[in-house]
């Protein structure tokens, strides 16, 4: 039987480490627990928040509703062919631990996504990505519990409507489903992606001429640890803003005024501009005011040194307004703000 806790502290359930409470909180270990909750008269009609690792979330106030924390575990190969393994993973599994599991078993495709905080269930919601790889590239399907219909539904890649750090579960299905498991299509014959960022140079520094999925993962971990703060040591949610995508014509105008601005062409006749570059040029790198600031090695990361979510959000808005005034580009949060 599922236990419902009231007036529950969420401080250890968000990587910003801000103090917030949920009116009701329940840890979900299987779909039977969900059946019990969705038929509860006490909870009927309550606003619901599905919470994984809390690594992409900023609480600015208490949550007046029911928080469902996925703790569904399990990993199994449910199929394979000549080229791929199909691995089904419980939504409550830690993402990075799962990546390490894949490396141990020589399942390829997720090595570039090493050390991303959060749970497996949150990965498709956010369409997590790093170093030239997005989750959708290895995604096969997911099972999600419809909180209104009290039934499990299967979503393929098309149904998820993946976008840049986006999916249908951040849009029209937000708060309507709890993802119970994710099935990924992982490689047997690996095609390594070492062209993005500093992976190649890091592999060279490590003296690796013939990289494996394990060495690519090691390189990614080394890069991330060198420029991103550990949430266990200082509160943060990684990149606070998305990298903006602008029209090519607008990008050329921007480059005419700021010749050193970097940009990466996308498939939609547009250019992706690094938000970190914009924020740094606007003067925010290493900024600190009271107990909130930006990380000294990566201005895209807002860090919490012991304050509340309101002050973190106020700084984020100051940064956004400053960048918009200087460059005419509006930054959009990657973090969900509640």
222-237 burial, b at 16+ Cβ within 10 Å, e below that, comes to bbbeeebbebeebbbb
Half-sphere exposure for 108 (CA within 13 Å, toward CB): 15
Identify whether 239 is a catalytic site residue: yes
N residues, the chain: 338
Number of H helices, E strands in the chain: 9, 20
Name the active-site residue from 33, 91, 165, 181: 165
Name the active-site residue from 111, 134, 137, 334: 334
- Give the single-character DSSP code of 24: E
Identify whether 91 is a catalytic site residue: no
Per the listing, tokens 């014959």 go with: 189
Name the active-site residue from 114, 141, 239, 320: 239
CA torsion, ordered 215, 219, 222, 228, to nearest 10 deg: -130
CA distances from 193 to 141, 152, 215, 216 (A): 23, 35, 12, 8
DSSP H helices in the chain: 31-38, 95-104, 122-126, 157-160, 199-205, 213-227, 248-257, 275-281, 309-327
229-233 contacts at long range (C-beta below 8 A, 24 or more positions apart): 229/295, 229/297, 229/301, 229/303, 231/15, 231/17, 231/55, 231/117
Helix (H) or strand (E) holding 4, with range, is strand 4-9
3-state secondary structure of 220: helix
Rounded Cα gap, residues 269 and 283, in angstroms: 30
Rounded Cα gap, residues 234 and 225, in angstroms: 13
- Give the single-character DSSP code of 242: P
Identify whether 334 is a catalytic site residue: yes
Rounded Cα gap, residues 321 and 317, in angstroms: 6
Active-site positions?
165, 239, 334
């Amino acid at each position: 039987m599922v236990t419902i806790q009231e007036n529950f502290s969420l401080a250890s359930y968000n990587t910003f480490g801000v103090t917030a409470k949920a009116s009701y909180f329940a840890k979900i270990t299987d779909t039977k627990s969900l059946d019990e909750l969705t038929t509860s008269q006490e909870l009927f009609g309550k606003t619901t928040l599905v919470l994984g690792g809390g690594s992409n979330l900023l609480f600015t106030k208490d949550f007046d509703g029911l928080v469902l924390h996925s703790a569904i575990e399990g990993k199994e190969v449910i199929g394979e062919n000549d080229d791929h393994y199909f691995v089904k993973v419980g939504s409550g599994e830690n993402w990075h631990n799962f990546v390490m599991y894949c490396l141990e078993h020589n399942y390829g495709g997720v090595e570039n996504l090493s050390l991303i905080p959060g749970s497996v269930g949150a990965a498709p919601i956010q369409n997590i990505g790093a170093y030239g790889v997005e989750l959708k590239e290895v995604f096969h399907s997911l099972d999600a519990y419809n909180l209104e219909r009290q039934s499990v539904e299967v979503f393929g890649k098309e149904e998820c409507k993946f976008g840049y750090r986006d999916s249908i579960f951040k849009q029209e299905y937000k708060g309507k489903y709890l993802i119970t498991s994710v099935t990924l299509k992982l490689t047997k014959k690996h095609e390594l992606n070492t062209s993005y960022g500093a992976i190649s140079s890091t592999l060279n520094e490590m003296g690796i001429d013939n990289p494996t999925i394990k060495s690519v993962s090691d390189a990614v971990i080394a890069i991330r640890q060198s420029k991103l703060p550990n949430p266990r040591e200082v509160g943060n949610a990684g990149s606070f803003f998305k990298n903006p995508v602008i029209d090519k014509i607008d990008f050329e105008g921007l480059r005419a005024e700021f010749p050193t601005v970097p940009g990466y062409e996308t498939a939609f006749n547009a250019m992706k501009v690094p938000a970190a570059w914009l924020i740094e040029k606007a003067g925010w790198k290493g900024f600190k005011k009271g107990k909130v600031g930006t990380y000294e090695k990566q201005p895209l990361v807002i860090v919490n040194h012991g304050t509340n979510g309101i002050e973190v959000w106020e700084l984020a808005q100051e940064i956004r307004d400053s960048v918009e005034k200087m460059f005419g580009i509006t930054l959009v949060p990657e973090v969900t703000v509640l």
